[in-house]
C-alpha cells in the first residue's frame, strides 16, 4: 500500500509531519507540491494546504491530524505518553505550537527574508543563473501575495514579535534541567516545538539573543539526534535594517557564535 506525503520541503508544518513519520519508521514517498499552484493537493479535492498524507484510500490533512492518525494506526514507537495527564499536556503544547508558534514564526521569518531576499534563494526564488535573473520579477509578483496570505504587515508582525517571547519563555522554562518538554522521552510536544520554531533560526532578534540560547540549543541538539535537516542559524553579519541591535551583540560583524 502506498503512503504519500504531499510536501513543500521548507514548510515547518511539513517537517513536523515528516518527523512523525520518520519517528514511527514508516516508509513514505514525498510528493513535491508546487508552492504557487498547489495543483497536486487540489487534485485530491483539498483546498491546497500542506502537509497532506495519502495512506492507501485515506487522505489526511494537517500535521495535527496526521500525527493523531499515525499514533492510532501505528502505535509503536509512541508519540504520546501512556499517562493520561501527560497526554493532555502534550496535546496542549502541540495546540499552542500549531496556533501560535507556527504562524508567528513563519510571519516574522518571512518578514526578515523579504528584506533579505538571498534567504529566499533555493525556496521561492531561483538560486542559479540563468533562472536567477528573473528573481526580481518573480518577487514583485510573489511578495504582495505572500504578505497578504500570511498577514505579513507591520502591525501583525509586531503582534507576533510580542506573542512569541511569551510562548518561548514557557517552553524554555519547561526544559530547565530536562531533556524533553513532557516526561523523560521524546513526545509529539518536542517534535511540534522543534519543527515549528525552525523559521526563527533566520530571525536575528531571536536567534542571536542569549536569552533564548538554551531553547535553540535544545532544538538543534534534538534535531541533530534525529537526523533532521534544519535552517542555518543567522548568527553573524549585520541584522536586517530596522531590527533592534541586542545589547549583548558585538559591534561590527555582530557574530555571536555558540
Reference 32, options 45, 13, 51, 46; nearest CA is 51
By CB under 6 A, the residues from 38 to 97 that bind ligand GSH are 38, 48-51, 62-64
Reference 33, options 20, 52, 17; nearest CA is 52
The DSSP code sequence of the chain is --EEEEE-TT-HHHHHHHHHHHHTT---EEEEPPTTT-HHHHTTTS-S-S-EEEETTEEEESHHHHHHHHHHH--SS-SS-SSHHHHHHHHHHHHHIIIIIHHHHHHHHHHHHHHSGGGGBTTTB--STTGGGGHHHHHHHHHHHHHHHTT-SHHHHHHHHHHHHHHHHHHHHHTTT-SSSSTTS--HHHHHHHHHTGGGGG-HHHHT-GGGHHHHHHHHHHHHHTT---PPP--SSPPPTTPPPPTTSPSTT-----
Nearer residue to ligand GSH within complex by CB, 100 or 235? 100
Does position 11 interact with ligand GSH (CB under 6 A)? The reply is yes
Shortest Å distance, C-beta 7 to ligand GSH:
10
Shortest Å distance, C-beta 82 to ligand GSH:
24
Give the three cell numbers for residue 58. 485515506
Shortest Å distance, C-beta 237 to ligand GSH:
26
CA torsion 7→8→13→15, rounded to 10°? 80
Nearer residue to ligand GSH within complex by CB, 191 or 256? 191
Nearer residue to ligand GSH within complex by CB, 199 or 239? 199
Nearer residue to ligand GSH within complex by CB, 95 or 245? 95
What string marks each residue from 150 to 189 as x (binds ligand GSH by CB under 6 A) or -? ----------------------------------------
Shortest Å distance, C-beta 191 to ligand GSH:
12
Shortest Å distance, C-beta 15 to ligand GSH:
9
By CB under 6 A, the residues from 23 to 42 that bind ligand GSH are 38
Nearer residue to ligand GSH within complex by CB, 156 or 213? 156
Nearer residue to ligand GSH within complex by CB, 99 or 158? 99
Shortest Å distance, C-beta 166 to ligand GSH:
20
| Contact assessment for residue 207 and residue 233, using Cβ atoms and an 8 Å cutoff | yes
Nearer residue to ligand GSH within complex by CB, 80 or 256? 80
Does position 199 interact with ligand GSH (CB under 6 A)? The reply is no
Q: Total residues contacting ligand GSH (rule CB under 6 A)?
A: 11
Does position 143 interact with ligand GSH (CB under 6 A)? The reply is no
Tell me which residues touch ligand GSH (CB under 6 A).
Answer: 11, 13, 38, 48-51, 62-64, 98
Amino acid at each position: 500500500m502506498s503512503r504519500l506525503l504531499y510536501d513543500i520541503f521548507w514548510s515547518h508544518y511539513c517537517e513536523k509531519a515528516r518527523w512523525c513519520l520518520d519517528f514511527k519508521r514508516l516508509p513514505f514517498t514525498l510528493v513535491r507540491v508546487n508552492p504557487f499552484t498547489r495543483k497536486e493537493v487540489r487534485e485530491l479535492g483539498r483546498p491546497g494546504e500542506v502537509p497532506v498524507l495519502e495512506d492507501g484510500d485515506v487522505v489526511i490533512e494537517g500535521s495535527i491530524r496526521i500525527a493523531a492518525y499515525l499514533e492510532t494506526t501505528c502505535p509503536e514507537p509512541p508519540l504520546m505518553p501512556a499517562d493520561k495527564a501527560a497526554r493532555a499536556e502534550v496535546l496542549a503544547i502541540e495546540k499552542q505550537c500549531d496556533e501560535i508558534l507556527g504562524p508567528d514564526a513563519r510571519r516574522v521569518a518571512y518578514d526578515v527574508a523579504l528584506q533579505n531576499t538571498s534567504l529566499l534563494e533555493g525556496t521561492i526564488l531561483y538560486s542559479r543563473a540563468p533562472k536567477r535573473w528573473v528573481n526580481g520579477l518573480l518577487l514583485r509578483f510573489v511578495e504582495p501575495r505572500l504578505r497578504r496570505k500570511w498577514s505579513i504587515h507591520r502591525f501583525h508582525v509586531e503582534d507576533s514579535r510580542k506573542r512569541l517571547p511569551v510562548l518561548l519563555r514557557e517552553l524554555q522554562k519547561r526544559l530547565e534541567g530536562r531533556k524533553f518538554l513532557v516526561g523523560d522521552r521524546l513526545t509529539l510536544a518536542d517534535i511540534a516545538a522543534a519543527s515549528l520554531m525552525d523559521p526563527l533560526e533566520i530571525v536575528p532578534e531571536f536567534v542571536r539573543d542569549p536569552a533564548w540560547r538554551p531553547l535553540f540549543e535544545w532544538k538543534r541538539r534534538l534535531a541533530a539526534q534525529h537526523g533532521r535537516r534544519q535552517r542555518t542559524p543567522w548568527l553573524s553579519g549585520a541584522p536586517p535594517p530596522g531590527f533592534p541591535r541586542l545589547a549583548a551583540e558585538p559591534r561590527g560583524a555582530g557574530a555571536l557564535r555558540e
